[in-house]
Structure 1
Amino acid sequence: MGALAVALLPRDAFGAAVGGFVLLCLLASLVSWRPRPTAPALVVAGFAGGVLGTASSIGGPPVALLYQHETGPRIRATLAAYLTFGGVLSLVALAAGGQIGWPQVLGSAVLLPFMAAGFALSGPLRRYLDTRWMRPCVLALSGGGAVLLIARSLF
């Protein structure tokens, strides 16, 4: 469905809507909503994240928001598996739909050193994030991704 959204929907309007949806969920979780990773919630968040991730590259927040009150190791393990598996599925769907070309491959190559740096820093930083910083980081990254997606869509 995400590859179909990429092919059929206006990119900017869809991106702004996705970013707005993520921000609404984030704000709701700050005010009163306390999402839990139950089986039905995970099915909905996984489906939404898969579609949104394929169509707009911001697929992590639906699942991350469900796990925001869990321990650091559980959040990291769950998101690592989800994003790896989901990323592979998204790439396959986009490639099958003819949506991946050399500009996307080269853009990905430019980001590889930053991914490697993040991986190298993740070990030493994990002890700090596992204390009281995990939830604020999850919320900040989800919100930051949403704001950047909205900004990119509008400008």
Structure 2
Amino acid sequence: MGAVVQGAVGFGLGLVAAPVIAMLEPSVMPGAIQVVNVTLPLLTILGEWRGVDWRGLGFAVLGRVPGSLLGGLVVVYVSTRTLGVLVGVMVLLAVALTAWAAAVPRNRATITGAGFVSGITGTATGIGGPPMALVYSGAKGPQIRATLAVFFLLSAAQSLAVLAALDRLPARSLVFGATLLPFLVAGFLASGPLRRHLDGGRIRTGILCVAALSALTLILHGNLG
């Protein structure tokens, strides 16, 4: 289901999968979700690589590098549930502002900032899509999905490296993540009809809905955990 959502709007895999894995097998998080996070973007890039916003991607990665390092420290020293609640509230506010305004300004400052926040939350909780998706919510579907796919590919690889360096990436996490890959591919293939539907002028609404659900998931998981 996570792959269906991300295959359609460009993000959302962590929204669906991360909370479920964290509840059922908390010992394999956040490494297991990063295994699927590094795999799904390859499928999107394969079909929509021409839509990548390379300039914006550069600024996003620039912000993501220090963000992921800070996210790694969060995993070691801070409760990820507490972080999730704070980020969830911030994302809900951002969704409300984005829905009210025409679009989030997309410039070097907002993209770099989104990359930084995504680095923190993506590394610590496995849910790093909403900040970047909100910044690109005014773009067309193929550009959103392709740009986010390359960003998520680099981000997940970086998060895996940070977790490994901090000794927070047990082999069991990698194996657990690998067992999810066949279902990941099936979900992506099933997302085709929904992707075409959203590209007919509905992609921005889809992004706002998934971002809001991501925020609520972070808040509920933090309060119930």
TM norm. shorter chain > 0.5: yes
Matches within 5 A, 1:66-81: 66-81=135-150
Name which of 117, 130, 140 aligns with 2:186. Answer: 117
Q: Could you tell me how far 1:29 is from its partner in structure 2? A: 0.9
Deviation at 1:36, TM superposition (A): 2.4
How far apart are the structure 2 equivalents of 1:68 and 1:50? Answer: 19
Identity of aligned residues (%): 37
In 2, distance between residues paired with 1:37 and 1:107?
37
Report what 1:24 is aligned to: 93
How far is the alpha carbon of 1:125 from its aligned partner? 3.3
Q: 1:122 deviation in Å?
A: 3.4
Determine the structure 1 residue equivalent to 2:75: 6
Q: Are 2:173 and 1:104 aligned?
A: yes
SS at match of 2:137: coil
Deviates more, 1:8-17 or 1:96-105: 96-105
Report Cα offsets for 1:54-90 as digits up to 9, x if no partner.
1121111111001111101111111111111111111
- Tell me the CA shift for residue 150 of structure 1: 1.3
- State which drifts further: 99-108 or 54-63: 99-108
CA contact (8 A) 1:64 1:75 kept: yes
Between 127-136 and 104-113, report the one with greater CA deviation.
104-113
Give the structure 1 partner of residue 197 of structure 2: 128
RMSD across aligned positions (CA) = 1.7
Deviation at 1:37, TM superposition (A): 2.0
| Counterpart for residue 208 of structure 2 | 139
TM-score by length of 1: 0.90
**Is 46-55 or 100-109 further displaced after alignment?**
100-109
When the two structures are superposed, what TM-score results if normalisation uses the length of structure 2? Answer: 0.64
**What is the total number of aligned residue pairs between the two structures?**
155
Aligned residue identity for 1:22: V
The structure 1 segments of at least 4 consecutive aligned residues displaced by more than 4 Å after TM superposition are none
5+ residue gaps, structure 1: none
State how far apart, in whole Å, the 1-side matches of 2:124 and 2:151 are.
Answer: 16
Q: Secondary structure at the match of 1:37?
A: coil
- Report the alpha carbon displacement of residue 106 of structure 1 after superposing the two structures with TM: 4.5
1-side partners of 2:109 and 2:80: how far apart? 29
Q: C-alpha distance in 1, partners of 2:102/2:120?
A: 23
Q: Which moved more, 1:43-52 or 1:28-37?
A: 28-37
Contact 1:50 1:59 in 2 (8 A): yes
Q: Secondary structure at the match of 2:159?
A: helix
**106-115 vs 56-65, which deviates more?**
106-115
Greater shift in the superposed pair: 86-95 or 33-42:
33-42
Residue 39 (str. 1) matches residue 108 (str. 2): yes
Distance, in Å, in 1 between the alignment partners of 2:213 and 2:73 is: 26
Shift of 1:103: 4.7
Give the C-alpha shift of residue 113 in structure 1. 3.3
